[in-house]
Amino acid sequence: MEQAKYIGKRLVELFLTLLVVSFLTFAAFSIIPGDTASVMLGPNATAEQLSALRSQLGLDLPMSVRYLEWLKGAFTGDLGNSYAYSQPVISLITDRLPVTIGMSILSLLMVLLISYPMAILSGRRPGSLSDNTLSVFGHVLFALPPFVLSMLIITLASAAFGIYSVGRYVKPSSDFFGYLGCLLLPSFCIALPKIAMTFKFLRASIIEEKASDYVRTSKSHGLSDVSIMFRHILPNSTVSTITVISLVLSDILGGSLIVEQVFNLPGLGRLLLAAISRRDFPLLSGMVFYLALITVLLYFAADIVSALIDPRMRNNREGTL
């Protein structure tokens, strides 16, 4: 009952967050100079032509009316039609999802598979040569933004070794392994700074757990360091870094929008920029709503998993409400 009440509160927060984000987005892009009609017709359009097109697109209606109509459609799966592409917004988004979602999943796998061994090796003996080396390496990765890493990797992979062609993309339906190959280097560019972030928090958590009383008790019972690490320290450290991992995943999603531009991939990033440049409000609102939904769901999932694993986190969370 207590868990159901906690989940219910989180769902209400999720719904209210989406409402606020969608309204602010809709309002911001409704008041900025220029609109879809002027972009579509160009600078030589007459006032009569602009007025007719605005009436046809519904841009002459009050913002509150347009927002309520859009909100009604958003929660029923209808995000309207794109002005620029003359297609349903939901179709445009789903057509490009395989690129962005594929890179996000590959990046997260890389983050987990690389950061965990680094944190274990570093956290076992703080202050050692391996710890200092990995810490410096993590700082370097964290300092480099994804687009800089993308340019460096493109230069090495394409110009120096000739093993990658920028802009090459294969749909998963036609060649799944070719699809993974196209996304491997972009995913690696996204993952590198996130590896450094996860490594930093996980290392600190491991060092903190090593100083706990239960570790000394386990050693007195004859358990080996390896057994204590994998049976006790690492699971407890993972609980404390669940929120960080959800933050990393949402950051991966944002980083993919930048890397898509550099690698010239047909993902959500290029679609978002096209929507902004063409003042395509239905497409732009739909994409921001989708990205906000993904981000909020990630934090919601992290909250629920943390609360189920460690009830103390749920009690602390409720104490702040």
What b/e string do you get for 271-299 counting C-beta neighbours within 10 Å, with b at 16 or more? bbebbeebbbbbbbbbbbbbbbbebbebb
- Taking only the tens place, the pLDDT of each residue in 248-266 is 777 777 777 778 887 888 8
Please enumerate, as own/partner, the contacts of 171-178 that have beta carbons within 8 Å and a separation of 24 or more: 171/98, 172/98, 172/102
Q: What is the mean pLDDT of the chain?
A: 78
Element counts in the chain: helices (H) and strands (E):
15, 0
pTM (2 decimals)? 0.76
CA distances for 143 relative to 62, 132, 161, 257, 286, angstroms: 46, 17, 26, 19, 32
CA 182-184-189 angle, 5° bins: 120
| Greatest Cα-to-Cα distance within the chain, rounded to the nearest angstrom | 86
CA 317-320-321 angle, 5° bins: 95
Dig out the tokens for 285 from the structure: 């609102």
Dig out the tokens for 25 from the structure: 């987005």
Q: Measured between alpha carbons, how far is 136 from 196 in angstroms, rounded to an integer?
A: 10
Q: Measured between alpha carbons, how far is 90 from 19 in angstroms, rounded to an integer?
A: 19
Q: Measured between alpha carbons, how far is 111 from 118 in angstroms, rounded to an integer?
A: 10
- Provide the residue ranges of all domains of the chain, joining segments of one domain with +: 1-84+278-321, 96-277
Per-residue pLDDT 10s for the chain (321 aa) are 666 777 788 788 888 888 888 788 777 777 766 666 766 666 677 777 777 877 877 777 777 888 888 788 777 777 778 877 888 888 888 888 888 888 888 888 998 899 889 888 888 888 888 888 888 888 887 777 777 777 777 777 665 555 566 667 888 888 888 888 888 888 888 888 888 888 888 888 888 888 888 888 888 878 887 888 888 788 778 777 777 777 777 777 777 777 888 788 888 888 888 887 777 777 887 888 777 777 787 777 777 776 666 555 555 545 444
| pLDDT given at position 42 | 65
Q: How many whole angstroms from its chain centre is CA 140? A: 22
* Residue partners of 36: CB distance under 8 A and separation at least 6: 57, 59, 83, 84, 278, 279, 280, 281
96-277 carries CATH number 1.10.238.10 = no
The three-class DSSP label of residue 182 is: helix
| pLDDT given at position 321 | 46
- Taking only the tens place, the pLDDT of each residue in 120-146 is 888 888 888 888 888 888 888 777 777
**DSSP secondary structure letters along 57-85:** HTTTS-HHHHHHHHHHHHTTT---B-TTT
SS (H, E, C) 201-246: HHHHHHHHHHCCHHHHHHHHCCCCHHHHHHHHHHHHHHHHCHHHHH
